[in-house]
């Protein structure tokens, strides 16, 4: 039976840094080559390649290590699914250095409380984001994704299409985004 420690770290955006989580995992005894990571994924996203690789790297007797439960899952259901899957495979789950024991009533209580807090935090973040977007929209600051074409470029392309000179698929729209490509379309 192997006895290795497999670590998992996650950040929600590409701009965030994993250094603190990597350092914490190293201080918990996880070798750097055994740390699997995900960039730009929320804890609610189940399709995380790093998580799948980390779980696949674990064998019976190993310990799966995360710095905090919210790095692993952001809902009570997902946290339980992952923890139960690990327990079925006889893999221990270490959260910040404390090994979760699914058979211990106090361990179960603590795990449930941590999972509820992680889900609550995710819900608060989502609510604040929606509120912020609503305020920004009301103040005219939230306009969504900016168009790739200028008004002049778009008008010209529509004129070409309406005149029957080109079909929509034949119009070289993508080339126009990076520079002049159609007659009459200069740099704006």
The DSSP result for 13-60, as a single string, is STTS--HHHHHHHHHTT--GGGEEEEES--TT-S--HHHHHHHHH--T
Structural domain including 164 reads 145-175
Please indicate whether residue 94 is annotated as part of the active site. Answer: no
Average pLDDT over residues 34-39: 94
CATH number at residue 92: 3.40.50.1390
Q: What is the pLDDT of residues 152-177, one digit of tens each?
A: 888 887 887 788 777 777 666 544 44
Q: What is the pLDDT of residues 84-134, one digit of tens each?
A: 999 999 999 999 999 998 888 998 898 999 999 999 998 999 899 899 988
pTM more than 0.85: no
Q: How far apart, in whole angstroms, are the C-alpha atoms of residue 187 and residue 180? A: 6
Instruction: Give a yes or no: residue 116 inside a domain.
Output: yes
CA 129 to chain centre: 16
**Neighbour order of strands in the sheet with 98-100:** 35-39, 5-11, 63-66, 92-95, 98-100
- Cβ count within 10 A of residue 78: 18
Q: Which of 12, 75, 98, 126 is an active site residue?
A: 12
């Amino acid at each position: 039976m192997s006895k290795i420690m497999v670590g998992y770290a996650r950040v929600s955006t590409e701009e965030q840094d994993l250094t603190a989580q990597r350092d914490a995992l190293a201080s918990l005894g996880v070798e750097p080559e055994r740390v699997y990571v995900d960039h730009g994924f929320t804890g609610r996203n189940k399709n995380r390649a790093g998580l799948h690789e980390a779980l696949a790297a674990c064998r019976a007797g190993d310990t799966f290590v995360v710095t905090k439960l919210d790095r692993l899952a952001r809902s009570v259901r997902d946290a339980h699914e992952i923890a139960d899957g690990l327990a079925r495979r006889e893999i221990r789950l270490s959260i910040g250095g404390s090994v979760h024991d699914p058979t211990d009533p106090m361990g179960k209580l603590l795990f449930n409380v941590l999972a509820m807090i992680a889900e609550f935090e995710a819900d608060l973040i989502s609510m604040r984001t929606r509120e912020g977007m609503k305020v920004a929209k009301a103040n005219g600051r939230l306009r969504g994704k900016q168009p790739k074409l200028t008004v002049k470029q778009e008008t010209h392309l529509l004129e070409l299409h309406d005149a029957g000179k080109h079909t929509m698929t034949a119009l070289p729209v993508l080339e126009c985004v990076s520079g002049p490509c159609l007659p009459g379309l200069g740099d704006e």
